[in-house]
């Protein structure tokens, strides 16, 4: 799929992995819609990028919000061809323990944002892509979702987060099969330990320790490395229905 002159939406695009992806897509010539709840950061990023970038406030769990953002992206020159969903939250709590059972509300919230929110973006973006003109090879669009190595190596206290990311992994192949007749590809990136707002509250000492736990390179991943893989998926027509770990050979220990 050609990135230059294509319309793109990046959900969760105001910070972290999404911001890096929005920047990379814009630099490659895409017309990017940054969809996020953070209006201050989203507007600032769109203003910095300039022509070919705009911000739309959207809660990924809200169908009307996402549909409005998708429609803005679909109206871009070239139509909507690219969707990347990076929106996500975390929560740490054991299934049961001294303090009682895992609270239900935060579990539901993590599932709602990470899993249902990703599906919300996927379903609406794919529907908009279906109405686009196919490329010479029959392609109409590419959807890239974000899981985590926690989908496979969930640690103690990660029950909610791992469940949400495992759901995204599970959606990947059936979504790709569902949309294959329309020339729409679906892939998922499962990052390891990355420099994102989810790790922003940790001390430098802990961040260094986390980086040292990665076999090679022994450091936290950079958001631009996620963005580079997202762009490669978009451009490589044979990548479809695949979940790609981006983790420096990391396999998470129980704690």
Q: Is the pLDDT of residue 204 over 90?
A: no
- Decide if 216 is catalytic: no
Res 200 pLDDT > 70: no
Task: Tell which residue, 119, 112, 120, 111, has the closest CA to residue 164.
Answer: 111
pLDDT interval class at 219 (50, 70, 90): very high
Q: Is the pLDDT of residue 115 over 90?
A: yes
- 55, 91, 107, 161: the catalytic one is 161
Burial (CB count within 10 angstroms: exposed 0-12, middle 13-18, buried 19+), residue 110: buried
Distance CA 233, CA 244 (A): 10
Q: How many CB atoms lie within 10 A of CB 75?
A: 13
Q: Strands 100-101 and 96-97: what pairing?
A: antiparallel
The distance from CA 237 to its chain's CA centroid, rounded to whole angstroms, is 19
Asked whether the beta carbons of 153 and 255 are under 8 A apart, the reply is no
- In the chain, domain spans: 7-246
CATH number of 7-246: 3.40.50.720
Q: What are 63-103's pLDDT values in tens digits?
A: 999 999 999 999 998 899 999 999 999 999 999 999 999 99
Q: Which tens digit of pLDDT belongs to each residue from 22-53?
A: 999 999 999 999 999 999 999 999 999 999 99
């Amino acid at each position: 799929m050609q990135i230059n002159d294509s319309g793109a939406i990046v959900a969760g695009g105001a910070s972290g992995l999404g911001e890096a992806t929005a920047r990379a897509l814009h630099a490659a010539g895409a017309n990017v819609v940054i969809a996020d709840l953070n209006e201050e950061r989203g507007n600032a990023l769109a203003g910095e990028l300039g022509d070919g970038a705009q911000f739309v406030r959207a809660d990924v769990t809200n169908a009307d919000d996402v549909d409005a953002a998708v429609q803005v992206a679909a109206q871009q020159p070239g139509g909507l061809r690219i969707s990347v969903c990076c929106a996500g939250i975390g929560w740490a709590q054991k299934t049961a323990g001294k303090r009682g059972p895992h609270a239900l509300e935060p579990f539901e919230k993590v599932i709602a944002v990470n899993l249902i929110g990703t599906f919300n973006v996927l379903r609406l973006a794919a529907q908009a892509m279906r109405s686009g003109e196919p490329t010479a090879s029959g392609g109409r669009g590419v959807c890239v979702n974000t899981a985590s190595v926690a989908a496979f190596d969930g640690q103690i206290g990660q029950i909610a987060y791992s469940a949400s990311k495992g759901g995204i992994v599970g959606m990947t192949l059936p979504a790709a099969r569902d949309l294959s007749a329309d020339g729409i590809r679906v892939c998922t990136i499962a990052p390891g330990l990355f420099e994102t707002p989810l790790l922003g509250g940790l001390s430098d000492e802990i961040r260094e320790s986390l980086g040292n736990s990665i076999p090679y390179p022994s450091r936290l991943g950079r958001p631009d490395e996620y963005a580079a893989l997202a762009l490669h998926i978009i451009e490589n027509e044979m990548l479809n229905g695949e979940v790609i770990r981006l983790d420096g050979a990391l396999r998470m220990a129980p704690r």
